[in-house]
Chains A and B, each alone.
Chain A
């Protein structure tokens, strides 16, 4: 501790688990928005990632509330948020946005998309597997062209509803922080927008990585047209995201209100590594530079793959650092603007690194199971010798 903090402020309230929560939700929203490009805006190039993006979104969405649950003082009371919500609370309403998104958008869209496969698998599988698929059909075995046309139409409408829902989902996470007037580090109307675009950036980067990784693991050729398109979208959304973040920064510096000295001090000391080094240089400027090179010059397939993979990894790091800097950074200074505290992450306590790492691995495990049950691959060609493993 340095300077003066209100005595109750010394202890940080929101830990690394609360850093994970916007990070995971952001990945969901981003992955879904990428998926919807193909469905609503007919960007045919990204079709190979459509189903993978949906499953990725679902896997991460299932895990997203777990860090919150683990963080609560009384997890057994968490259902009260649904049963007796306080309508003025951003957090309470988020519960409903989450549920709406999970049940009304994502699950329905995935079911419609996979219905034909589910029916086929229900007919061809036996034992437990057959039982599972028969249950998943929900009793509907009609896969006539007319029925599939209806599926497609309804799916399109769901996606159309899904896009604003995904915006709402992550914009709302931003609002939870942005509406706290007591905390100048959080309190800005730009927060939901910045959260939304950073969500898109991280989600697109994740799907890009997952696509490359799963293709390499299955030894099938990567559709470079698809990869180039995703990388291009990553670049565009990243430019918007970076512009918004810089706008916020410049605004703060120029306005220099009562909190500025305190925040400025923090960025130069306690947050220097995570904000300046990781978030801005390594996690934003580096991938932006790499991606802009691929837009300006023509590189070979092997080089492009490496650059894209590298950019996506750096991007994910940068967005995680951004969530860290928002959540943890917002608690390192006193609301008296006269002092600073520090955050030491525990290792194996309930809110330590170990549960955080477990929660970060869990969505991948869920995704693995989802891919096994609902294989997202459609009509691919095997990789040429030596073509895989480039990434």
Chain B
């Protein structure tokens, strides 16, 4: 192959730009991954969650989440009879060690795993003064830790309490939907660790994803729908008492 000096000079800057992407571990550079081909969400089946806390532990380990802060956690609800507006809720240490025996009698008990809703119209990214919280083209809300000022406006704006101020990074922090994993074809740490399949990563753009069949045949709800945040965390069998 004959490459002229002129061509080399043109190719070098292009190669430099491409190399930057490779170094930045950009998902687009991973083989077979194209951001625009995906639209990530998650399905949580309340009836399958047993409150074991495996997801919380897996998340903390995978993402090095500091103690007493949570990228995901599990709540236990107790609703007695018709008192739907007065549920008793507990989440000792975010459910990381599971739950002690319930003392509540009568009514119903169930577990609700929580995490970032990766909202389409996320209030957290709206309020960020510098755009450090942003949406990836495949629908994941992320924080740029190199850019975040640590003003904590996003933490105030999140209706679900999913964000916290990272004591070491001194920036906002939250669930990344294990972006480092899902862009390599893996599932999230919490989904992988769940022994009952209560959590299922969903690719809403993939026509073959079982999520589509599930959504068609089940009663599914998002948290706080009146806030119209465009949550992509779908709950199957969500009780009206859940906040």
A, B bound: yes
Q: With A7-B70, A183-B156 as given contacts, are A90 and B131 in contact (CB-CB < 8 Å)?
A: no
Contact: A6 with B90, CB < 8 Å? no
Of the listed stretches B9-17, B20-28, B161-169, chain A binds B161-169
Complex Cα distance A7/B71, Å?
A: 10
* Inter-chain pairs besides A4-B90, A8-B163, A68-B151, 5 sampled, C-beta below 8 Å: A71-B151, A77-B148, A89-B126, A181-B123, A182-B159
Which residues from chain A sit less than 8 Å from chain B, CB to CB?
4-11, 13-14, 68, 71-74, 77-78, 80-81, 84-86, 88-92, 95, 176, 180-183, 330-331, 334-338
Closest chain A residue to B174, Cβ basis: A8
The 20 sampled A-B contact pairs (Cβ below 8 Å) are A4-B89, A6-B114, A7-B73, A7-B94, A8-B155, A8-B162, A72-B151, A74-B149, A74-B150, A85-B129, A86-B128, A88-B126, A90-B127, A180-B157, A181-B159, A331-B156, A335-B160, A335-B161, A337-B243, A338-B89
Instruction: Give min CB distance, A287 to chain B, whole Å.
Output: 31
B108 within 8 A of A: no
B33 within 8 A of A: no
**Chain B at the A interface: SS class:** loop
Q: Which of A13, A78, A334 has the most CB of B within 10 A?
A: A13
Q: With A4-B90, A182-B123 as given contacts, are A338 and B149 in contact (CB-CB < 8 Å)?
A: no
- Select one of B114, B127, B150 contacting A180, CB under 8 A: B127
- Select one of A72, A89, A183, A335 contacting B128, CB under 8 A: A89
Q: With A13-B165, A86-B131, A334-B161 as given contacts, are A8 and B89 in contact (CB-CB < 8 Å)?
A: no
Closest chain B residue to A13, Cβ basis: B152
- Select one of B73, B75, B156 contacting A13, CB under 8 A: B156
B179 within 8 A of A: no
Q: With A8-B162, A89-B127 as given contacts, are A72 and B89 in contact (CB-CB < 8 Å)?
A: no
Contact: A73 with B156, CB < 8 Å? no
Complex Cα distance A38/B149, Å?
A: 41
Complex Cα distance A72/B94, Å?
A: 27
Residues of A within 8 A of B94 (CB): 7
Contact: A335 with B149, CB < 8 Å? no
Residues of B within 8 A of A74 (CB): 148-150, 170-171
Complex Cα distance A77/B155, Å?
A: 18
B91 within 8 A of A: yes
Closest chain B residue to A71, Cβ basis: B151
Residues of A within 8 A of B131 (CB): 84, 86, 89
